[in-house]
Structure 1
Amino acid sequence: MFIDGQEGTTGLQIYERLGGREDIELLRIDPEKRKDAQERKKLLNDADLVFLCLPDAAAREAVALIENDRTKVIDASTAHRTSPGWVYGFPELLAGQRQRVKFAKRTANPGCHATGFLSAAAPLVATGVLPRDYPVTCYSLTGYSGGGKKMIAEYEGEGKDEALDSPRIYGTTLRHKHLPEMKALSGLDEPPVFCPIVDDYYKGMASCLMLHNARLTGKPTAEDLCEILARYYEDQQVVRVAPFEKEGSFLAANALAGTDRLELSVWGHEEQTIVVARFDNLGKGASGAAVQNMNLMLGFDETAGLAL
């Protein structure tokens, strides 16, 4: 195994999950040669599987350095998530997706916001409940670790800006980089109107899909939608659906921080529904998903090394 870009947040989290495993060998690059193209090329071609934890352009360059047909790749960047020849690394999402990942040579790790949105929207489209032309709206809360080392330093450094004490809406141009995969993998005709929000806590996500039930096929209630999602994800180990609760409550966005699983909760009544996906943006939203995909691609137990 080789992690190209191990110094970043995602790379470090992958290493943390793999460092103690005895069934794999991690190839390490000399810190002084991190940007040496020839040394990176050697390791990229020596490894059975490579994790790319790099900016998009660098990820594309790394793939081009692989000259054999043996090395498998998991790319954590946005570079290949909708590219032909690449498998989207969300095994539970669609029928046959786990097998596609298992036999893939090139797997694109999903974006964190996309993971939350798709976990709720894609099953409802696939089962015919959510019409493909439905005008979907979604917002997503995330901890600041999703912004990488620079944002972590802003939140944790001395002289912190008071504006960082409050939730901050971003992506206000409505062209967030996860939108192409959100549209492509959901089966919707158009991407959602999507609003991400970052807040002053380290990690954890809550992605929220809001629906008018009268515009859904069959006009299901919120409880009906909960049952549909529960059946869709029945027997899954990493994605689970919480029992329907009629009474409202507070939902903490960091409730699943430190885990590699995702939990869907459905709330609402006969007319309106909200589906909330909660997970760790560094777990099922990034590094945990990458390790799950690696396990499948190399024939290990799917949840080996994961915190469920």
Structure 2
Amino acid sequence: MSKPKVFIDGQEGTTGLQIHERLAGREDIELLVIAPDKRKDLTERKKLINAADLVFLCLPDAAAVEAVGLIENSRTRVIDASTAHRTAPGWVYGFPELYKKPEEVIGTARFVANPGCHATGFLASAAPLVSMRILPRDYPLTCCSLTGYSGGGKKMIAQYESKEKGEELCSPRVYGTTLKHKHLPEMQKISGLDNPPVFTPVVDDYYKGMATTIYIHNRYLVGQPTAKELSLILMAYYAGQPLVSVAPYMEEPAYLAANALAGTDKLELTVSGHEGQSIITARFDNLGKGASGAAVQNMNLMLGFEETRGLAL
């Protein structure tokens, strides 16, 4: 049997480079490569897209939509890393741990939308609690998400790594202050909430790693579980998952470093608080489970490989 042909459209971007790094040494696929001087050549891209069994789109939204329109067959499958299709009809949302049988949902899908990084951290905490009817759909959630600067792409990386960077880049910077961040539509839809959360992202002066936290008043939850009980509930939900886990509940306060899982493709949840209030923090690599690692995980499911093949555990 021939090896599946895989093409990364937009390989020169941060996400594309990270996907290529995970796939370059694999012998179970054939990686199609576009010549550097042809990367913006529509004819050449179209040729490779239609030659591939699976295409990763690591492109701006408009370009990702254009790329899907270049497909002229009923065979080529797509994983889109942009925001363009995450809530679009006909596309499967690529967060395997939110499905009972991801091999039957993502594994059989033709079009898969890779989650956003902030959305990944939010959904890992909120979506299971909504699906289990513990967190009411009308609950007014708030969320804060701290990320390393690599999530901003090449331009932001250059700014932070410049020798002439200003003082403002040496401290955490809150952004998305209009409360209309581009990840909000998927955060609301996939979680099942009636309203989007009040969400503020923060970028800081370190390369990669994320800490995404939601804030809960326990008395408004069904059954009024304590923080410790929420930890056990989520631990049971993710039991047996190779890439998402829940840390043991800690009675004493602790510092949670946002870059603790940098360099891996895993995500870990930590539940903290007491009887009346809880916070749930998802820590992961914004370039791993928050982007490229998740894309390769989805590819493995779609092509029938072991889910974690080629990933950093």
TM score, norm. by length of structure 1: 0.99
Aligned match for 2:29, one of 14, 17, 24: 24
The 5-angstrom pairing of residues 84-233 of structure 1 reads 84-233=89-238
The 5-angstrom pairing of residues 244-283 of structure 1 reads 244-283=249-288
Q: d(CA) in 2 for partners of 1:98 and 1:124?
A: 22
Is the 2:7–2:31 contact (alpha carbons within 8 Å) kept by the matching residues of 1? Answer: yes
Is the 1:260–1:284 contact (alpha carbons within 8 Å) kept by the matching residues of 2? Answer: yes
**Identity rate, percent:** 72
The residue type paired with residue 110 of structure 2 is K
Aligned match for 2:82, one of 77, 88, 100: 77
Q: d(CA) in 2 for partners of 1:300 and 1:22?
A: 12
Q: Compute the displacement of 1:269 (Å).
A: 0.5
Q: Compute the displacement of 1:142 (Å).
A: 0.2
Aligned to 2:310: 305
- Asked if residue 52 in structure 1 is aligned to residue 57 in structure 2, the reply is yes
- Counterpart of 2:96 in 1: which secondary structure? coil
Aligned to 2:245: 240
Q: d(CA) in 2 for partners of 1:46 and 1:173?
A: 42
Q: Compute the displacement of 1:98 (Å).
A: 4.3
Is the 1:49–1:74 contact (alpha carbons within 8 Å) kept by the matching residues of 2? Answer: yes
Aligned to 1:10: 15
Q: d(CA) in 2 for partners of 1:302 and 1:176?
A: 30
The residue type paired with residue 57 of structure 2 is L
Q: d(CA) in 1 for partners of 2:34 and 2:155?
A: 23
Is the 1:94–1:122 contact (alpha carbons within 8 Å) kept by the matching residues of 2? Answer: no
Q: d(CA) in 2 for partners of 1:273 and 1:29?
A: 49
Q: d(CA) in 2 for partners of 1:138 and 1:20?
A: 38
Is the 1:203–1:254 contact (alpha carbons within 8 Å) kept by the matching residues of 2? Answer: yes
Count matched residues: 308
Q: d(CA) in 2 for partners of 1:142 and 1:211?
A: 21
Is the 2:103–2:302 contact (alpha carbons within 8 Å) kept by the matching residues of 1? Answer: no
Q: d(CA) in 2 for partners of 1:101 and 1:246?
A: 38
Is the 2:99–2:105 contact (alpha carbons within 8 Å) kept by the matching residues of 1? Answer: no
Q: d(CA) in 1 for partners of 2:284 and 2:204?
A: 15
TM score, norm. by length of structure 2: 0.98
The residue type paired with residue 60 of structure 1 is V
Q: Compute the displacement of 1:93 (Å).
A: 1.3
Deviations along 1:52-108, one digit per CA (max 9) or x if unpaired, are 000000000000001101111000000000001100000001334442100010000
Q: CA RMSD in A?
A: 0.7
Unmatched tracts of structure 2, length 5 or more? 1-5
Q: Compute the displacement of 1:157 (Å).
A: 1.1
- Asked if residue 287 in structure 1 is aligned to residue 292 in structure 2, the reply is yes
The residue type paired with residue 253 of structure 1 is A
Q: d(CA) in 2 for partners of 1:98 and 1:234?
A: 17
